[in-house]
Amino acid sequence: MKQILQYKHRYRDYWRHKPESYWLARLQEEVAELTLTLDEQHEGPVSLELREIASICMNWLDMRGEWVEDES
């Protein structure tokens, strides 16, 4: 979880100003990379692709004002 939150914080402002359709396209791109990785057609560990997908989802929710990070 710590690595996912690090990705979230690192890329928090990259697409902040983009429309949600852009966010969806980036999420779909990462899901496609995960699919290719599982099929051994894309380099990189599955865990990396999953972290990227999770961080996009968290940042997208944050952009929409729907993400509250647990500060405990």
pLDDT tens per residue, range 36-60: 999 999 998 999 999 999 999 999 9
Q: In total, how many domains does the chain have?
A: 1
Which span out of 8-17, 26-35, 58-67 was modeled with the highest average pLDDT? Answer: 26-35
Query: Region 6-14: what's the mean pLDDT?
Result: 90
Query: Region 59-64: what's the mean pLDDT?
Result: 94
pTM of this prediction?
A: 0.87
**Does the residue 72 lie in any domain?**
no
**Does the residue 24 lie in any domain?**
yes
**Does the residue 71 lie in any domain?**
no
**Does the residue 36 lie in any domain?**
yes
**Does the residue 70 lie in any domain?**
no
Tokens matching residue 46: 């599955």
**Does the residue 68 lie in any domain?**
no
Single-letter code of the amino acid located at 72: S
Range of the domain at 21: 2-63
What is the pLDDT of the chain when averaged over all its residues? 92
State how far the Cα of 43 lies from the Cα of 33, in Å rounded to an integer: 9
**Does the residue 10 lie in any domain?**
yes
**Does the residue 18 lie in any domain?**
yes
